[in-house]
Amino acid sequence: MNQDVIFTPLRFRNLEVKNRIFRSSISGRFDNEDGSLTQTRINWECKFAKGGVGAIISSYVPVLMEGRIIAGYATVHRDAFIPHWQKLGEAVHSFDCKFIMQLSHSGRQLDIPGVHNYTRPALSSTSRKETLHGILCRAMSLPEIHHTIKAFARAAWRAREAGLDGVELHAANGYLFTQFLSSGINDRTDEYGGSLANRARFLLDVIQAIRAEVGGGYHLQVKISAVDHNNVIPWEKKGNTLQESIEVARWCEAAGADAIHVSTGSLFPHPLNPPGDFSFETAAATYDVAISSGVSTFRNYILFRYPVLRPIFRWLWFRMKRGRPVEGVGLDEARAIKAAVKIPVISTGGWQSAAKIRDAINSGDCDGIAIARSLIANPDLLRFWAAGDDLPPRPCTYCNRCLLNAPKNPLGCYEPLRFPDHETMVEQLMTVYNTHPELRVPQPAEVFP
């Protein structure tokens, strides 16, 4: 019998992963306000490492404090945090799992700004506010762009110093790179705006800066949105097409990227990413933490909260999903990009069935699969596959309650159908806090009056 392709190693230029499954980037407010990560974060990542995935793509890791999406996510903006990340790397490695840090900058997609950021508009390619929440922003000056490029390079260096296995540039889903790449968002008139080449300049500059900083021997992959679908708000422009994204992928390869991770959508969340349902009751219970973040958030909250108004948002959100599958929603785009580049391609978007994943890889549509929600539901998903099951007994339902709870509550599975009762669900959520801290008395010099 041939070996299951899921469990065959994936060899990148600078990295070998033991199987084809990547834990896709998911965050969770587990960390300290200053950006230092916690034991909780380590526990969280180890769930998946122990579960058998080949590599973990970290939480969304800002390279600058101004680039946070949500305060409470670990950052990599300081050298002082290298030991923390090193500890995390060690923990994940102990389960024979690789760890790839996702280097990120929110740009204007700054959902909960935190005390560091709430007095200033977010930095972006544009001064036009974010469309869904009305988050305020300001077009970056060239010095600010150059500063940010350097910050990415330094962050990659810190990841390498921490012994992590590689970095991923989060150039998808509406964050700062997308804000430069997307023709639907970028309205600049300088060398970072206009043509596709100009819009891609920021990303390519960052790749080159990282290569200059860490050399060619360190794993660097790029996550891009294959299609922007920027017109969630119907009067917005559609943004980048698949053809444009293929071109960007080629340029990334030429600039020194080792892999392309294919997602979709020019904002996050997006009707197609993550695909699945939208729980209005959950949104009404959690979106309140974001009300002060934007000028349109209160409007959204009203739309979520009052059943009579929900059809408005429902129409807005679900019209794009029609005719598209949940599982492997981005496979067609991944196939197209795979055909255009020589480096490995990772596909994300609703994957859960072993058979479908095997088909996707065997047919050469992609080389690896990145999964988030199905692994939150079943961190040991690969064990079921290894045992010959196609799906776990209680699979992810794509309810997206994990996503909607993330800004306010501990990250985990919130699908009530998967638990006998609420208490069991909470117990599952709390497992990540099993920290056994070694508390100690601080030295006088460590206490700031």
Partner 1 sequence: MNRELPITAVQEALRRRSRLWTPVYLLLALVFLIGLVGTALGLIVLLRVSQNHTPRYADIVEHFKYGSIGAEQNSGIPYRVWRALPRLFPEAFEQRDDYSAFGFLYENDADDRPRDLPIGIARRIDRSVEVVWFNCATCHTGTVSLPNRDDKAHSARLVVPAMPSNNLDLYRFIRFLLDSATDERLSPDILIPAINQTGPKLGCIEEAIYRWYVIPALREGLVTRRSRLLPLLEKQPPWGPGRVDTFGPYKRIQANMPMSSLLPEELIGTADFPSIFQQGPREGMHLHWDGNNTSLAERNLSAALGAGVTPETVDHAAIDRIADWLKSLRPPPSPYRTDAVAVARGRDTYMKHDCVACHGYRDVQGYVFKGEKLGQVELNYDPKVEPNKQLGVDPHRLDSYTERLRDFQVAELFKGTPYQFKSFEKTFGYANLPLDGLWTRAPYLHNGSIPTLADLLEPPEKRPAKFLRGIDKLDPNRGGFVAPACDSMPAQANHFCFDTSLPGNNNTGHRYGTNLSPAEKSDLLAYLLTF
Q: Of the two residues 108 and 418, which places its CB atom closer to partner 1 in the complex?
A: 108
Distance CA 140, CA 146 (A): 10
In the complex with partner 1, the residue whose CB is nearer, 121 or 194, is 121
**Residue range at the interface with partner 1 (CB under 8 A); choices 20-28, 112-120, 420-428, 437-445:** 112-120
Q: Which is nearer to partner 1, 127 or 428 (CB)?
A: 127
Interface with partner 1, residue 410, by CB under 8 A: no
| DSSP, residue by residue, 51-89 | HT-SEEEEEEEESSGGG-SBTTS----SGGGHHHHHHHH
Cβ-contact 121, 287 below 8 angstroms: no
Q: Tell me how far, at minimum, the Cβ of 129 lies from partner 1, in Å.
A: 8
Say if CB 25 and CB 67 are below 8 A apart: no
Residues within window 290-349 making contact with partner 1, judged by CB under 8 A? 292-295
Four-residue CA torsion sign, 174, 176, 177, 179: positive
Query: What is the closest distance, in whole angstroms, from the C-beta atom of residue 65 to partner 1 in the complex?
Result: 15
Cα separation, 396 vs 399, whole angstroms: 8
Q: Could you tell me the smallest distance in angstroms from the CB atom of residue 107 to partner 1?
A: 15
Q: Is the CB of 141 or the CB of 292 nearer to partner 1?
A: 292
119 part of the interface to partner 1, by CB under 8 A = yes
In this complex, which beta carbon is closest to partner 1, that of residue 300 or of residue 397? 300
Stretch that binds partner 1, among 119-127, 155-163, 385-393, 413-421 (CB under 8 A): 119-127
Residue 33 near partner 1 by CB under 8 A: no
Bridge-based pairing of strands 16-17 and 10-11 is antiparallel
Nearer to partner 1, 120 or 319 (CB): 120
* Cβ 118 to partner 1 shortest distance, Å: 4
Determine the Cα–Cα distance for residues 341 and 50; give it in Å rounded to an integer. 32
The verdict on 113 binding partner 1 (CB under 8 A) reads: yes
Q: Which stretch binds partner 1 (CB under 8 A): 53-61, 82-90, 111-119, 333-341?
A: 111-119
Q: How far is the CB of 66 from partner 1 (least distance, A)?
A: 12
The closest of 150, 125, 78 to 239, measured between CA atoms, is 125
Asked if 407 touches partner 1 (CB under 8 A), the answer is: no
In angstroms, the CA 26 to CA 228 distance is: 20
The DSSP annotation for 90-112 comes to HHHHTTT-EEEEEEE--TT--SB
Residues contacting residue 430 through CB under 8 Å, at least 6 positions apart: 410
182-193 burial by CB neighbour count: b if 16+ within 10 A, else e? bbbbbebeeebb
Please tell me the distance from the alpha carbon of residue 286 to that of residue 279, in angstroms, as a whole number: 11
Least gap, CB of 295 to partner 1 (angstroms): 6
Query: Site for partner 1 (CB under 8 A): how many residues?
Result: 11
Tokens 């959520």 label which residue? 429
Of residues 123-182, those binding partner 1 (CB under 8 A): 135-136
Binding to partner 1 in span 81-110, by CB under 8 A: none
Tokens for 31? Answer: 């960390």
| Residue 139 Cβ vs partner 1, minimum distance, rounded to whole Å | 15
CB of 431 to partner 1, least distance (A): 35
Integer angstrom CA distances of residue 15 from 26, 98, 155, 360: 22, 9, 19, 22
- Closest contact distance (angstroms) between CB of 146 and partner 1 is 24
Q: Does 120 bind partner 1 (CB under 8 A)?
A: yes
Bridge partners of 259?
221
Q: Does 67 bind partner 1 (CB under 8 A)?
A: no
Residue 394: how many CB atoms within 10 A of its CB?
A: 13
- Name the minimum Å distance from CB 239 to partner 1: 25
Nearer to partner 1, 135 or 399 (CB): 135
Nearest to 35 by CA among 60, 4, 3: 60
Nearer to partner 1, 179 or 221 (CB): 179
| In contact, 24 and 372? CB cutoff 8 Å | yes
Count CB atoms within 10 A of the CB of residue 54.
Answer: 24
Q: For residue 368, state whether it binds partner 1 (rule: CB under 8 A).
A: no
Tell me which stretch binds partner 1 (CB under 8 A): 113-121, 252-260, 265-273, 431-439: 113-121
Question: Which CB sits closer to partner 1, 245 or 293?
Answer: 293
Q: Does 118 bind partner 1 (CB under 8 A)?
A: yes
Among 13, 14, 43, 121, binds partner 1 (CB under 8 A): 121
Binding-site string for partner 1 from residue 252 to residue 291, where x marks contact by CB under 8 A and - marks none: ----------------------------------------
Do 260 and 226 touch, CB atoms closer than 8 A?
A: no
List contacts with partner 1 (CB under 8 A).
113, 118-121, 135-136, 292-295
